[in-house]
Chains A and B, each alone.
Chain A
Amino acid sequence: MSILKTDNLTYKYSVGTPFEVTALDSVNLEVEKGELVAVIGHTGSGKSTLIQHFNGLLKPTEGSVLVDGQDIWESKKTLRDARFKVGLCFQYPEYQLFEETVFADIAFGPKNMKLSDEEIKERVMRAAEFTGVTKEMLEKSPFDLSGGEKRRVAIAGVMAMEPEILILDEPTSGLDPKGRDTILRLIRDYRDNTGSTVMIVSHSMEDVAKIATKVLVMNRATVMSYDTVPETYRHAEELLSVGLDVPQITKIFMDLKRRGLPVRDDVYTVEQAVAEIDRLRKEGVNV
């Protein structure tokens, strides 16, 4: 059974005013447990609106959201359960830090779950170790940390709730390449270690290609496609036509194909590209 399902999900902003906008238009989606889904789409395509439905921050205008087969808007209890089952980490999460120490900030989520003190401490330690937050840092004020450290603390704050589905909105935006790789590795490790479902919203096609198992493409309030990474990039032309980017290596291979070389059309990492060129060489094609 799918862990996350939306049924005809429609959301409209400012209903009943001249400013009414349909942000989501009957979205049907099923996400299997353990997937690492990348959500891509143009600004205003409904990505952020969609993910805010998964933990019940927004109430659907029509349709429903099911987490673990349970309609989250059925009662107050199901809604609260959804908040803890689905951990949502917003864009620039470092601006939500508020506690006196890093430890207390990471503990905020677990505390709200009404766990025992030992359990809270255990979870904070686990999340801190995972995200590379050191023991000395735990005692510091979150405002004394560097930007990248703050980001990791904020992500730890959501991970400490140990949600079944972890959703991160643009977790790498505004970070340098090293910080970006650290965060991406961390997200992949989290999924591999815990078997949770992870969803990341991203603008960077390279990031998506590196870590995702599935790609959800949003376009104009609807789901354009939901497929595996190679399948998604096989339709590179369509992605480009709706104003989305594809990894640079895919663009190069599109060009090669246009020039008449018999290359595969689902290349999206440099490693694959090397393998593909090796294959062509062996087959005696002049490259």
Chain B
Amino acid sequence: MIKDITIGQFFPGDSVIHRMDPRMKLILTIVYIVIIFLCKNFWALGFMLLSLVIMCALSGVPAKVILKSIKPIAIIITFTAILNIFYVRTGEPLLDWHFIHITTGGVFTAIFMIIRICALVVASSLLTYTTSPTQITDGIERLFSPLKFMRGGVHTLAMMMTIALRFIPTLIDEFEKITNAQKARGADLETGNLVERAKALIPVLVPLFITSFRRAYELAFAMECRCYHGAEGRTRMKIMKYSKLDVFGFLFILIATGGVIALNMFFRHVV
């Protein structure tokens, strides 16, 4: 169950997408998501889908891995589609039976929504697949650096995010180790009703909490030993620089935006 967590799943590689500046990737991902919502007909959406396929192909991340990112939201997609089919009442009626009315408009909207949500999820997972968690938080920190005057500061927030992301795999590891240790002592975690199972988790959760606190203290201590004192006067090991790749990326999304606007104008709107 805990293995299904895919936040910040990084697929190492050396593709053009991997090499782009994380700040540019963050901005372009957001822009891309906005444009998906601007699409008004299948031509525009198809165009966006095409550009997404091109980006995925460029990233070198296997199609299977990319499609896996849709799996966790399958329920939401189905639910949205069903709602749209039954509640949108535009276009020609397809079925009229007692209280069920299905129209062409409903079916089109449903398909439209499915494609839209999938594109949205794939685009954002493409970001996490091609950008390591540290790069993402670094990028966020740099993008929000104008907000430095805020209390606590952007740096602290970014550092907290980095640490949290960094420790997810460690905690999962720890969880599995402790689970195995308690299973070896005969703990039964798989059978029983909800209450029994929740109770069975106590022998795992107590050591896990204690370990997390221990780790937190150790980390804080280690950071202090290395004279960490926040953002003040801190320089970076990896200095982010925009390159030609980022210009190309920017142009790519610009063309996609232009294409969507044009296609929106030339063809009839569906939604």
Per the bound structure, the CA–CA distance linking A108 and B207 in Å amounts to 14
Per the bound structure, the CA–CA distance linking A172 and B207 in Å amounts to 20
Q: Which of A18, A95, A158 contacts B185 (CB 8 A)?
A: A158
Per the bound structure, the CA–CA distance linking A89 and B183 in Å amounts to 11
A222 within 8 A of B: no
Closest to B177 in A: A90
Assess whether B185 is in contact with A108, with CB atoms less than 8 Å apart.
yes
Per the bound structure, the CA–CA distance linking A95 and B205 in Å amounts to 11
Please name all residues of chain A whose beta carbon is closer than 8 Å to the beta carbon of B184 when the two chains form the complex.
55, 57, 83, 87-90, 158
Assess whether A95 is in contact with B178, with CB atoms less than 8 Å apart.
yes
Please name all residues of chain B whose beta carbon is closer than 8 Å to the beta carbon of A55 when the two chains form the complex.
184
Assess whether B186 is in contact with A113, with CB atoms less than 8 Å apart.
yes
Please name all residues of chain B whose beta carbon is closer than 8 Å to the beta carbon of A158 when the two chains form the complex.
184-185
Please name all residues of chain B whose beta carbon is closer than 8 Å to the beta carbon of A108 when the two chains form the complex.
182, 185-187, 203
Please name all residues of chain B whose beta carbon is closer than 8 Å to the beta carbon of A89 when the two chains form the complex.
184
Please name all residues of chain A whose beta carbon is closer than 8 Å to the beta carbon of B1 when the two chains form the complex.
none
A125 within 8 A of B: no
Assess whether A96 is in contact with B186, with CB atoms less than 8 Å apart.
no
Q: Which of A52, A83, A98 contacts B207 (CB 8 A)?
A: A98
Per the bound structure, the CA–CA distance linking A157 and B185 in Å amounts to 8
How many Å from the CB of A25 to the closest CB on chain B?
Answer: 22
Assess whether B181 is in contact with A93, with CB atoms less than 8 Å apart.
yes
Per the bound structure, the CA–CA distance linking A109 and B185 in Å amounts to 5
Q: Map CB proximity to B onto A123-165 as digits: 1 under 8 Å, 0 otherwise.
A: 0000000000000000000010000000000000110010000
Residues of chain B from 129 to 166 with CB closer than 8 A to chain A in the complex: none
Please name all residues of chain A whose beta carbon is closer than 8 Å to the beta carbon of B183 when the two chains form the complex.
57, 83
Q: Map CB proximity to A onto B199-220 as digits: 1 under 8 Å, 0 otherwise.
A: 0001100110011000000000
Per the bound structure, the CA–CA distance linking A55 and B180 in Å amounts to 10
Per the bound structure, the CA–CA distance linking A97 and B210 in Å amounts to 10
Contacts A95-B178, A96-B181 given; indicate if A84 touches B207 (C-beta within 8 A): no
Q: Which of B180, B186, B188, B202 contacts A90 (CB 8 A)?
A: B180
A193 within 8 A of B: no
Per the bound structure, the CA–CA distance linking A18 and B62 in Å amounts to 10
Please name all residues of chain A whose beta carbon is closer than 8 Å to the beta carbon of B207 when the two chains form the complex.
95-98
Please name all residues of chain B whose beta carbon is closer than 8 Å to the beta carbon of A90 when the two chains form the complex.
177, 180-181, 184
How many Å from the CB of A18 to the closest CB on chain B?
Answer: 8
13 contacts between A and B (CB under 8 A): A18-B62, A52-B180, A83-B184, A88-B184, A90-B177, A90-B184, A93-B181, A96-B185, A108-B182, A108-B203, A112-B186, A158-B185, A161-B185
B-to-A contact residues, CB < 8 Å: 62, 177-178, 180-188, 202-203, 206-207, 210-211
A-to-B contact residues, CB < 8 Å: 18, 52, 55, 57, 83-84, 87-90, 93, 95-98, 108-109, 112-113, 143, 157-158, 161
Known contacts A95-B210, A98-B202, A108-B186; 7 additional CB pairs below 8 A are A55-B184, A57-B183, A87-B184, A88-B184, A90-B184, A98-B207, A108-B187
